[in-house]
A and B are shown apart, each in its own frame.
Chain A
Amino acid sequence: MVETTATAEPLAHYPLDALAAGTRAIGAARLTALGPVSRLAFRGREAAIQAAGEAFGVALPREANRRNTANGRHALWLGPDEWILLAPGADPAPLFAAIETATTGLPHSLVDVSARSVTLEVAGSKAAYVLNQGNPLDLSLDAFPVGTSTRTLFHKAEIVLSRITPDTFHVDVWRSFAPYVWEMLEDARRELA
């Protein structure tokens, strides 16, 4: 049996560490791996939706594919009864407890999915062009304005795509798919170097 020692190399904490270290700077489509954030998946009916929004500090959007933002927190509409709640900081426990307390007795589901995905940022004048290499949505500002977030696909991987500013997109992807999405984005940006 192979012996493992305490001094062995730790597993890569972040799936994109090695890839991000070797990326090229391309101003028209900058690619960045963002640090950890708290992610909570919330599902519930009418009464719980209101209570969860108040506890979170951001009202949950009721319009399809919208994102509400306040104080650095985001509430993303993913489905008619499904939201993702994003908050800065790697520890979701206090936020989780606050929402759970506010929705006690109301049918709902709240799951900490902070470690499930990582977020990439694609920014620059060609950001939408790069994303469209693997995603067929209309990313013009008319069809996909700032404040839009939606689950969709990038090549073969499911992502949650958000437009933060006209030239900045966030791509939330399950962490085991992250290197795939990263390298496909690198491939799409090569022509801009």
Chain B
Amino acid sequence: MLIINCPWCGARPEIEFRYGGEAHVARPADPAAMSDQEWADFLYNRTNPKGLHAERWRHIHGCGRYFNAVRDTVSDFFVTTYKAGEPRPDIGESGQ
């Protein structure tokens, strides 16, 4: 079973977690000023990288908190996890 490090609770089994989509997608400050294309990009378009991906996870069957993780989408390896609100750690293209 995949072990995920919750920034609050430590190493816990993956079944306690839920995926929350790409991290660091900030809501635009003034949506009314955007074109439809820009708004659609914000709503629907994600980077979908092959390699390291910063994404949100929620420890729903634990402390209940959202946090961010950097995961390698090729190997499913969790490089690191960090609390929501913290900047993405400076990690290269390959975490291993």
Contacts and interface: CB of A to CB of B under 8 A. Distances in A.
Interface in A120-178: 136-137, 150-153, 158
B15 A151 contact: no
Contact of A82 (B9, B10, B63): B63
B61 A80 contact: no
B15 A150 contact: no
Contact of A151 (B1, B10, B13, B62): B62
B63 A78 contact: yes
B11 to A, nearest CB: 8
Given A64-B8, A80-B8, A136 B65 contact: no
Contacts of A136: 1, 13, 15
A117 interface: no
Q: Which secondary structure dominates chain A's binding surface? A: strand
A65 to B, nearest CB: 6
A151 B63 CA distance: 7
Interface in B52-91: 61-65
A94 B78 CA distance: 47
A181 B39 CA distance: 46
A137 B12 contact: yes
Interface of B: 1, 8-10, 12-13, 15-16, 61-65
Interface of A: 64-65, 78-80, 82, 136-137, 150-153, 158
